């Protein structure tokens, strides 16, 4: 038997697989809670615009961890739905703001957000939830590039 294969964890123990499965579960609970009118990424964009009205698309892309092309596509879709407006700024940038309809969409969603996350984390003790979120935040921050920098290499040093 190959000794190298003994050191490879089972698929169910591989970090990439577990992260993908966690994402699937989070998206499923999101859609069960909010329906399919808004995607999780669109929700993130709407929340970012609620927190920082008038930010430009590049700043928005950074806030929601998307590339600028994807952010522009999402902004176009949200503008078509009538949930945001995009105003042209100097240097071909665009400022984005929620419309009254976009505010209404968020106002309808927000009361269900906390119960949605409670459902997602159900089964974990309060200390485990705190630790899970702390470690998840740490993991994301360790692997997040600063704006304009290349992605960090595979494994961070301890």
For the record, the structure tokens of 140 come out as 């994301």
Q: Sign of dihedral through CA atoms 151, 153, 155, 156? A: negative
Model pTM above 0.95: no
DSSP 124: S
pLDDT band at residue 112 using 50, 70 and 90 as cut-offs: very high
Q: What is the per-residue pLDDT across 35-84, written as a single tens digit (0 to 9) for each?
A: 999 999 999 999 999 999 999 999 999 999 999 999 999 999 999 999 99
For the record, the structure tokens of 98 come out as 């929620």
- Residue 135 neighbours by CB under 8 Å, 6+ apart: none
Q: What is the per-residue pLDDT across 124-154, written as a single tens digit (0 to 9) for each?
A: 999 999 999 999 999 999 988 655 444 444 4
- Residue 27 neighbours by CB under 8 Å, 6+ apart: 40
**What crossing angle do the helices spanning 40-51 and 68-80 adopt, rounded to 10°?**
90
């Amino acid at each position: 038997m190959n000794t190298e294969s003994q050191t490879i964890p089972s698929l169910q123990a591989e970090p990439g697989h577990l992260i993908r499965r966690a994402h699937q579960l989070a998206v499923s609970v999101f859609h069960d809670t909010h329906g399919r009118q808004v995607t999780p990424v669109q929700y993130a964009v709407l929340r970012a615009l609620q927190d920082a009205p008038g930010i430009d698309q590049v700043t928005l892309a950074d806030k929601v961890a998307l590339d600028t092309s994807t952010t522009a596509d999402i902004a176009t879709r949200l503008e078509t739905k009538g949930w945001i407006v995009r105003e042209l700024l100097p240097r071909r940038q665009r400022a984005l703001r929620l419309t009254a309809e976009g505010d209404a969409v968020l106002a309808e969603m927000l009361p269900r957000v906390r119960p949605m996350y409670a459902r997602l984390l159900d089964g974990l003790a309060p200390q485990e939830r705190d630790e899970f979120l702390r470690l998840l935040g740490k993991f994301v921050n360790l692997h997040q590039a600063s704006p304009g920098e290349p992605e960090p290499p595979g494994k961070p040093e301890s």
